[in-house]
Amino acid sequence: LAKTTQPISMDSYEGQEVNITCSHNNIATNDYITWYQQFPSQGPRFIIQGYKTKVTNEVASLFIPADRKSSTLSLPRVSLSDTAVYYCLVGEVGTGRRALTFGSGTRLQVQP
Amino acid sequence: DAEITQSPRHKITETGRQVTLACHQTWNHNNMFWYRQDLGHGLRLIHYSYGVQDTNKGEVSDGYSVSRSNTEDLPLTLESAASSQTSVYFCASSEGGVAEETQYFGPGTRLLVL
């Protein structure tokens, strides 16, 4: 399974854009990149998923360079409620035959 | 609405006892997963299943077992509870076999082994 590396923690202020980068040097051809968000005392919840280039939804954007060895989650204009742990996962989907591995995540603290 | 539930939400047990944590999903998902999360750490995969009668070991499977007799349920059993198994346990499910796949997580079970 592809191993991911992301910063342990990040600090930001309300209204700023936050970019969290994840390294996944040994990503395989069939692997997708998925980001989850976890609040204290809750299970993780899906934020965004992509394979290459850029993906955007109502919550975030995901930037993936051509070599796919890293990815960047972008959260526009964060608020206090975005304080959470963010996990980057790499794993094969499509066939549904491969479990995803969670790393330690990035703890984002948003200040007023 | 479809959902994934876990029971009990909190459990205190003693070392050496057998404990079973329940996980039930109503999405008719093929894939189900069990993770544990220790305080201040990420999630580690214990066991997973890709369908009825299918089970697979994850990265921290020692001391745990699962069985999948139907689509909706994947109970996790601690054969002989140890203090090192004190943790928060999350169950998850996903549809499987689609191009983009999301795991949906339950609310978690807090287990304390004394």
Full strand arrangement of the beta sheet holding A61-64: A18-23, A70-75, A61-64, A53-56
CB contact under 8 A, A105 and B58: no
Q: Report chain A residues whose CB lies below 8 A from the CB of B96.
A: 96-97
> What is the average pLDDT across B59-77?
96
> What is the average pLDDT across B56-70?
94
Q: Which among B34, B19, B14 is positioned nearest to B77, based on CA atoms?
A: B19
pLDDT for B28-41, tens place per residue? Answer: 999 899 999 998 78
CB contact under 8 A, B42 and A49: no
Q: Give the B window 13-72 contacts with A, CB below 8 Å.
A: 30-31, 33, 35, 41-45, 48, 50, 56, 58-59
pLDDT for A58-102, tens place per residue? Answer: 999 999 999 999 999 999 999 999 999 999 988 765 454 555 667
Q: A12: which 2 tokens?
A: 């930001």
Q: Residues A83, B29: contact at Cβ < 8 Å? A: no
Give the largest Cα separation in chain A, rounded: 43
Give how far A58 is from chain B: nearest CA, Å: 16
Cα Rg, chain B, nearest whole Å: 13
> What is residue A103's predicted lDDT score, i.e. its pLDDT?
75
Angle at A47 (CA atoms; ends A43, A52), nearest 5 degrees: 135
Asked if the C-beta of A104 comes within 8 angstroms of chain B's C-beta atoms, the answer is yes
Range name among A1-5, A19-23, B59-63, B81-85 with the lowest pLDDT average: A1-5
SS3 content of chain A, % helix, strand, coil (to 5): 5, 50, 50
Q: A56: which 2 tokens?
A: 């955007």
In chain B, whose CA is at the least distance from the CA of A88? B42
Q: Which of A43, A94, A99 sits opposite B48 (nearest CB)?
A: A99
Asked if the C-beta of A32 comes within 8 angstroms of chain B's C-beta atoms, the answer is yes
Residue type, B17: R
Which of B38, B44, B100, B109 to probe the A interface (max A CBs under 10 A)? B100
pLDDT for B100-111, tens place per residue? Answer: 578 899 999 999
> What is residue B25's predicted lDDT score, i.e. its pLDDT?
97
Conformational region of residue A15, where left means phi above 0, alpha means psi within -120 to 50, and beta covers everything else: left
Q: Band of the pLDDT at B66, cuts 50, 70, 90?
A: very high
> What is residue A98's predicted lDDT score, i.e. its pLDDT?
56
pLDDT winner (highest mean) among A15-29, A78-92, B74-88, B100-114: B74-88
> What is residue A100's predicted lDDT score, i.e. its pLDDT?
65
> What is the average pLDDT across A107-112?
96
Q: Which among B12, B66, B81, B68 is positioned nearest to B35, based on CA atoms?
A: B66
